[in-house]
Chain A
């Protein structure tokens, strides 16, 4: 019953970023489910795979909400669930402008073994990830994260800048970070042919992200920074594949990170649920 109900998926046509957010919100009533993975290897540590299950819902045209459930697996160590995040994004201005601001608020309840690196803030470094999971998971990180997202579209290009401020709810200082992304579809005009692999279905870009220290020590010293080309292929079936190799630019950064994801959109979820409710009550 559910399969044909949800069969009509739509395209996301979103920017192909993993870390940077744009002002594009989830369409109202649409649920997106995605699995995002990150693999890397600290210089003195073991290779790991951090995974996020992402469930995003468009509540209103100006409000999207999203849950992330995260886990990780480290070679010669263990596999564990590391916590969850709940984020909300709000567009304060209703129309489209040269620069479109979005306010982002997130609550995260993670443990110290989390290796998903959804953002890089403060003095986050590859060396944090050398600790054994049994020891790292003892650390509790209940955090509030805020972002100011600024994003613009011009002639098919998207340019997005995020300013990040994160506070561990224990007695820790505010930590800061940034993310910047630029992307474009490979073709601006859609082909009149029905096709899966049309060039307009591919978006490519690059993102830069890193930490900016803390309230007590703001700056670039001892922080990690990455540059990451990224590509997304959006199939007409509603499935999106994304991949992004990331390269560390400082000694505190991982030398190489690989992110890959698959996402699927289910439009009209609330309407389908209401229909199911009426059918079965």
Chain B
């Protein structure tokens, strides 16, 4: 077995374990709502095409459970990984701002971008998030 191979066999698993360990250092996402300052005016002003649509609330709830609940909790009240979404920040954010956040994420702070979802599904999630604010 060559020196290069022995070296890589030793280093690669160690590097992978370091990667796993560093994942514990994510900051909690957007607790303060500081991200709202980054939302462009045009994006914040966009209106939700599914506002008040009961089907969109149900579809958004389903999407939330699939994509978001592992970090934000099944009832959106937050976990150790990510903050509650039943919050003053979310309640007061415009639909366009929430849509912008889902599209862009906060990659440095651990919130992934959900641009992989079609716009329609992100609006459905926004509809659901706004529907739970008054509960």
Does B46 reach chain A (CB closer than 8 Å)? Answer: no
Does B113 reach chain A (CB closer than 8 Å)? Answer: yes
Contact across chains for A65 and B16 when beta carbons are under 8 A apart: yes
Contact across chains for B121 and A270 when beta carbons are under 8 A apart: no
Does A17 reach chain B (CB closer than 8 Å)? Answer: no
Interface size on A (CB < 8 Å)?
A: 53
Cβ distance A233 to chain B, nearest Cβ, rounded Å: 14
- B63: chain A residues at CB < 8 Å are 190
Contact across chains for A8 and B70 when beta carbons are under 8 A apart: yes
- A84: chain B residues at CB < 8 Å are 12
Contact across chains for B23 and A61 when beta carbons are under 8 A apart: no
Contact across chains for A192 and B55 when beta carbons are under 8 A apart: yes
- A153: chain B residues at CB < 8 Å are 115-116
- A91: chain B residues at CB < 8 Å are 107
Given contacts A28-B112, A29-B26, contact A190 B107 (CB under 8 A): no
**Docked pose: A140 CA to B66 CA in angstroms:** 43
**Docked pose: A185 CA to B26 CA in angstroms:** 31
Given contacts A58-B23, A59-B22, A109-B5, contact A189 B16 (CB under 8 A): no
Q: Which of A94, A156, A185, A189 contacts B59 (CB 8 A)?
A: A189
Does B83 reach chain A (CB closer than 8 Å)? Answer: no
Contact across chains for B23 and A59 when beta carbons are under 8 A apart: yes
Interface size on B (CB < 8 Å)?
A: 48
Cβ distance B107 to chain A, nearest Cβ, rounded Å: 3
Contact across chains for B20 and A273 when beta carbons are under 8 A apart: yes
Cβ distance A237 to chain B, nearest Cβ, rounded Å: 10
Does B104 reach chain A (CB closer than 8 Å)? Answer: yes
Contact across chains for B112 and A15 when beta carbons are under 8 A apart: no
Contact across chains for B115 and A96 when beta carbons are under 8 A apart: yes
Contact across chains for B19 and A65 when beta carbons are under 8 A apart: yes
- B106: chain A residues at CB < 8 Å are 61, 94
Does B91 reach chain A (CB closer than 8 Å)? Answer: no
Contact across chains for B66 and A10 when beta carbons are under 8 A apart: yes
Contact across chains for A190 and B124 when beta carbons are under 8 A apart: yes
Closest-by-CB residue of A relative to B8 is A109
Q: Which of A14, A189, A190, A200 contacts B116 (CB 8 A)?
A: A14
Contact across chains for A11 and B67 when beta carbons are under 8 A apart: yes
Q: Which residues of A contact B (CB under 8 A)?
A: 8-11, 13-15, 22, 24-25, 27-30, 57-62, 65, 67, 84, 86, 91, 94-96, 107, 109, 140, 142, 153, 155-156, 158, 185, 188-194, 200, 236, 267-271, 273-274
Contacts beyond the supplied A13-B117, A62-B107, A96-B103: 16 A-B pairs with Cβ under 8 Å: A22-B116, A24-B116, A28-B26, A58-B23, A59-B22, A60-B23, A61-B110, A65-B19, A95-B104, A96-B105, A155-B119, A185-B118, A189-B121, A190-B63, A200-B121, A268-B81
A-B contact pairs, 18 of them (CB 8 A): A13-B116, A27-B112, A28-B110, A58-B23, A58-B112, A60-B107, A61-B108, A62-B108, A67-B12, A96-B103, A96-B105, A140-B2, A153-B115, A188-B121, A190-B63, A193-B58, A267-B70, A271-B80
